[in-house]
A = this chain, B = another copy of it.
Amino acid sequence: MKIGILTGGGDCPGLNAVIRGVVKTACKKYNWDCLGIESGFEGLILEGHTRELNPYRIRGILPIGGTILWSSNKGDPFNYPQEENGKVVKKDLSGRAMEKFKDLGLNALIVVGGDGTMTIANKFYKMGMPVIGVPKTIDNDLMSTDLTFGFSTAVETATYALDKLHTTAASHKRVIVVELMGRYVGWIALHSGISGGADCILIPEILFDIDKVCEHIKGRVKQGSSFSIVVVSEGAKPLGGSVTALGLDKSSGVERLGGIGEKVAKWIEGKVDVDVRTTVLGHIQRGGGPNSFDRILSTRFGYEAVELIKEGRFGRMVCLKGQDIESVTLDDAIAKQKAIDPDGSIVKTAEAIGICMGR
């Protein structure tokens, strides 16, 4: 028995812990062989992108961030960029990947990735490849699992930053706007904002009214709190009325990601008599080793992925439900994005303790 494993999409704390969990379970419990596929699905297209894995080779990787197998954002075999007559065209090389999978003598493939990677994995599964998915994203935007690994660490990192920004904001009586990651959902911003003691949290799920934000900051000054921390999720969007004022392009979503923090800062500075500074936390949020929660979740996911192979239950993705590890079909896994409920209990808690959610 020989299984492969690859990591795809943006990297995330805990990837190495999953790899370790898979390799240790496969080798120690079942005495299987393990093959690492490098650079995501690209490793199934390019030559020489595989590496034997065994307990010795994965020593010491549990607390290390990133992925020893590397990742790739470009490696979709169904839509793979190739140079042809000096131009780059997209080609379907999924057949070549299927063939390589067989040539490598693999009996199963564990795919660790986010929604994009799972969609590709599902296509291969439908073509007959015995695939198991492991969900990964710092953004926590997958509907079919309570939590993804990497999210907890990202929140911890963002909280660390907010803690530090608090002392400098307070000393200088400044407003500090902090732009956090999360793509189209506000999980990192909401959780970090609450744990980092933010005064305003702006998330994509609640279109924000910049006037409410400014009023809130003014109210704090009146009560003697001359500083404020404003957390802005990179996907946060202002209410229709504010769009023009902020100078945002209404037409597209993707391009808007990144930059909203700076815009919110300028807007506040224009309306409130206060010093404003902006910090874009950036890639630090996806870097570094996993915290203990993510190490355990990743290890459990890795173990469960191997168990699913053992049971022959392919086309499924492992997931967390409460305190248990379960699994769902890849079809279900990629059906829907998990967004924050604007009327849910966490948002209610935030507003109850006086955090302005921009509405």
Contact = CB atoms under 8 A, between A and B. Distances in A.
Given A168-B287, A172-B71, A303-B352, A191 B292 contact: yes
A292 B168 contact: no
A258 B55 CA distance: 34
Interface string A187-198: 000011011110
Contacts of A163: 63, 287-288
A11 B287 contact: no
A25 interface: yes
Interface string A14-34: 010000110011001100000
A66 B292 contact: no
A289 B56 CA distance: 22
A194 B299 contact: yes
A159 B295 contact: yes
Q: Which of A147, A283, A303 has the most CB of B within 10 A?
A: A283
Contacts of A109: none
Given A191-B292, A303-B352, A172 B25 contact: no
Interface stretch (A96-104, A202-210, A237-245, A321-329): A321-329
Interface residues on A, range: 35 or more
Contacts of A279: 280, 282-284
A252 interface: no
Contacts of A158: 292
B352 A25 contact: yes
A234 to B, nearest CB: 14
Given A292-B159, A292-B191, A322-B321, A165 B20 contact: no
Q: Which 5 A-B pairs have the closest CB atoms?
A: A65-B167, A164-B287, A66-B167, A66-B171, A164-B288
